[in-house]
A and B are shown apart, each in its own frame.
Chain A
Amino acid sequence: MSNDPDKVWPTGLNLREAEEVHSYLIDGTRVFGVIALIAHLLVAVTTPWLG
């Protein structure tokens, strides 16, 4: 169907656009991961689990 080599099937985005969308996903995951890690550490300091 879409024979444009630059288009990423099936989104209709080209490679640069797709990579940018992906970068937002990756960045978001990293930030949320770090935040969750810090939050867990702080909770562990106040009410320690795992002994």
Chain B
Amino acid sequence: MFDYKRFALGRIASFGTRYMPFADVASEAVPLSRLLRLALFQVTVGMALVLMVGTLNRVMIVELRVPASLVAVMLALPLVFAPFRALIGFRSDTFRSALGLRRLPYIWKGTMLQFGGFAIMPFALLVLSGYGEAVDAPRWIGLSAAALSFLLVGAGVHMVQTVGLALATDLVAEADQPRVVGLMYVMLLVGMIVSAFAYGALLETYTPGRLIQVIQGSAVLTVAINGIAMWKQEARNRSRATAPVQEFSFLDSWARLAGRTGMIRLLAVIGLGTAGFGMADVLLEPFGGQVLAMTVAQTTRLTVVLALGSLLGFGLASRWLGRGGRAMDAVCLGAVIGIPAFGLVLASALILSAPLLVAATLLAGFGAGLFGHGTLTATMRAAPREQIGLSLGAWGAVQATAAGLAIATGGVIRDLVLAAPAGGTTAASPYVPVFALEGGLLFLAVLVALPLRRGGLATAFGPARAGAADDTGTDCGLAAPGP
């Protein structure tokens, strides 16, 4: 009699784990191609950011005629989830899984949330704008559906990015982390640039049908790209799966992380610096247009120059830190470069020189690149292996909140000065306080960061943590009993 059971088992055994979504072993050296593939999740994050903040921002206001203030509130909704990034990171650190996975489930869940948000978003926006029969529908349906879709996408983005970065950190040796950070930032930029052009081309002739196609197409693309990104990336860890349950509350874990020398200070630097650099993101283009009378094509090029500067910054930081540089040096240098950059922006308004503004933008981008890379690398190096998720969650929470608040504050300050009776004396006057504030924030960031650079503390964020005094007691992290 044909032993079908033996036959099937033989086939399955020869199948191996070739078609399984997890890696065979946690190999020591992860090839660059695999890291590149993992970094694809940043492409979908960039895609979601551009779609929401860039494309839909315009489509909702211009084509769908939704009030601008309502659009601003909707786009700000995902920020509500930013502080929860620390919690998500902590949960992925301590996730109990019989399969021995801890990052993949969260990336998958985040991807599903992102997909779900994009799947209902076009219809929610159409209802919100009163398209078709929706004119007669009660207002709350459109409002709550749109809010839900933005919340879902936002939560998904936060989840995917936090846990994806943690997985990337898990995968590589500490010496290679700067390379990974650079890769992640570059992929985020690439995703944003490519999708900005793609959305622009696809929505050139707007129809409601096209809007549905584009957003739902993004949903499918998100699942596909994230699926490719996480395939076979995380190895199953049997010891983790069978380890006895240890209950650690989030607060315990947080207290442990925050108790590490320089951690809170590092987070403060991240918040101040990100706010300083972030405020310019949305104001550089209107500044160029209104003050220096640049055309739309020229101001768009300004954004490209900013991205180019950031790329240079990431590249330099990757090489520098990869060769053993200290992360806090890059952070300080980035912030220090940013201060004169914003000074030059103001100077360009005084002498009405567009080339000077372009140079200042390049410099600001370069500083932001160095600063961003430095802070993320420092965060990775500052945390023990067991708390990488929590640490990167804290980085993301501070960074996303600071950037969001900065963009909002920058806009509010500009509008307030414009509205003030003496405000609109020159075209530049609404922007002067904003750029001055940015310089001030960066100055503060440098002040807070300097003690981290000086003395023995800096070794905590250097490549080799062996000599750091604070490592000996706490490196066992979660393995040690709670306080």
Partner-B contacts on A (CB < 8 A): 1-2, 9-12, 14, 16-17, 19-21, 24, 27-28, 31-32, 34-36, 38-39, 42-43, 45-48
Contact = CB atoms under 8 A, between A and B. Distances in A.
Closest 8 CB pairs of A and B: A42-B123, A16-B98, A35-B116, A46-B132, A46-B134, A20-B98, A17-B98, A39-B120
B275 interface: no
A45 B141 contact: yes
B157 interface: no
Nearest to A42: B123
Interface of B: 5-6, 8-9, 12, 97-99, 105, 108-109, 112, 115-116, 119-120, 123-124, 126-127, 131-134, 137, 141, 145, 148, 241
B99 A10 contact: no
Contacts of B97: 20
A45 B99 contact: no
Contact of A39 (B99, B109, B123): B123
A12 B112 CA distance: 27
Contact of B112 (A2, A14, A28, A45): A28
Contacts of B5: 1, 9-10
B9 A1 contact: yes
B120 A38 contact: yes
B120 A20 contact: no
Given A21-B99, A28-B112, A46 B131 contact: yes
A15 to B, nearest CB: 9
A14 to B, nearest CB: 8
A42 B120 contact: yes
Nearest to A38: B120
Contacts of B99: 17, 20-21
A12 to B, nearest CB: 7
Interface of A is mostly: helix
Given A42-B123, A45-B127, A24 B133 contact: no
16 contacts: A1-B9, A2-B9, A9-B5, A10-B9, A10-B12, A14-B98, A17-B98, A20-B98, A21-B99, A31-B112, A38-B120, A38-B148, A42-B126, A42-B127, A46-B131, A46-B134
A24 B8 contact: no
Contact of B133 (A1, A9, A11, A45): A45
Given A16-B98, A24-B105, A35-B119, A42 B132 contact: no
Nearest to B126: A46
A47 B123 CA distance: 10
Nearest to B135: A46
Contacts of A11: 12
B145 A42 contact: yes
Given A46-B131, A47-B132, A19 B120 contact: no
B374 to A, nearest CB: 37
Nearest to A12: B12
Contacts of B6: 1
B123 A43 contact: yes
Contacts of B123: 39, 42-43, 46
B105 A42 contact: no
A15 B99 CA distance: 11
A32 B115 CA distance: 9
A46 B134 CA distance: 5
A27 B137 CA distance: 31
Q: Which has the most chain B C-beta neighbours within 10 Å: A11, A32, A39, A47? A: A39
Contacts of B112: 28, 31-32
Nearest to B134: A46
A45 B120 contact: no
A42 B124 contact: yes
Contacts of A12: 12
